[in-house]
Amino acid sequence: MLGYWDPFSELSRVQDRFFGRPTLDREYAFKPPVDIFEDEDGIHVQAELAGLKPEDIKVEVENNVLTISGQRRMEYEDKRDNYHRVERFYGSFTRSFALSDEVSREEIDAKYENGVLTLRLPKRPAAKKREISVKASAH
């Protein structure tokens, strides 16, 4: 997998570690995993958003782009002799996905259960696959 490498960012991280400054690497920011699959009725998106409340999640469609955004807030910290242990990622996130014209934007449905946001993006009736039977002509 190719990625963007910023040598100045790397130098900054090395300096932060050397001087004992806390860091939050941009590439390790909160980015919830998403599964996308398609069936004959539509496209389905599932985002893993454990620890969020439905009111912390925003789903928008604009200019053929589906955007899921929100914020996971830290509820508590495990403190021991000025030591903080934080292993989960917190903060704001945004995930955006391009939509095809076959998606019926007016009928998108969102459900949130057990930490998983499930979006159902139904296809327009004209976009559904239809088999057309071929009839023989009588000559």
CATH number at 46 reads: 2.60.40.790
The answer to whether residue 139 sits within a structural domain is no
pTM for this prediction: 0.65
Question: Which has more confidence, 122 or 73?
Answer: 122
Calculate the CA dihedral of residues 99, 62, 123, 126 and round it to 10 degrees.
-100
Let me know if residue 52 belongs to a domain: yes
pLDDT band for position 1 (50/70/90)?
A: very low
Give tens-digit pLDDT for 65-96. 999 999 887 665 555 566 566 666 777 889 99
Q: Is residue 5 part of a domain?
A: no
In a domain, 91, yes or no: yes
Residue 13 lies in a domain: no
1 domain residue, yes or no: no
Domain interval for residue 92: 28-127
58-73 burial string, b = 16+ CB within 10 Å, else e? Answer: ebeeeeeebebebebe
Average pLDDT over residues 92-102: 89
Residue 70 lies in a domain: yes
Question: In this structure, are residues 55 and 48 in contact, taking their beta carbons and an 8 Å threshold?
Answer: no
In total, how many domains does the chain have? 1
Q: Which residues contact 90 (CB under 8 A, 6 or more apart)?
A: 30, 72, 73, 74
